[in-house]
Amino acid sequence: MPEAEYVGFWRRLLAAAIDFLILFVVTTPILLAIYRQRYFAMLEGGASAGFWDFVIEYVVPAVAVVAFWRVYGATPGKMAVGAKIVDAKSGERPSTARLLVRYFAYLVSALPLFLGFIWIGISRRKQGFHDKIAGTTVIYNDD
């Protein structure tokens, strides 16, 4: 891959916080409209509030994130910090299959005490475990 400036841990953490905030602002009113007070009771118990809770909290965000990555090369948070996801070898846009692997590899990054995300701050190319698994990296967007 041609030499690029990799986006580090703190910038990517800020991007993730922006994405989380957007997701929270969009999904919470929808879930409250569907489940009303039962939603808060279910959250306190750590259980899912039902089918639509699962769809709105897990399926829709997964589809939205992969769609943003595919179309824009980044989520709104990454766009806000001027970053984009690229293939680690070529520097080109990753395939949809690679992006799906990257999304589900977030679980690998999270499981061992979030070490896979912390690795972004240690890695020379600023890659988390999910990036290494999917063969991607995050660079500053020159466009």
Residue 9 has pLDDT above 90, yes or no: yes
- Of 131, 124, 122, residue with least CA distance to 86: 131
Residues 96 and 70: beta-carbon distance below 8 Å: yes
Run of H or E including 28: helix 9-35
Mean pLDDT of 55-72: 94
pTM of the model: 0.87
pLDDT digits (tens, 9 = 90+) for 85-134: 999 999 999 999 999 999 999 999 999 899 999 999 999 999 999 999 99
Cβ-Cβ contacts under 8 Å for 94 (sequence gap 6 or more):
69, 85, 86, 87, 102, 134, 135, 136
* Beta strands in the chain, from DSSP E residues, in sequence order: 83-87, 136-140
Mean pLDDT of the chain: 90
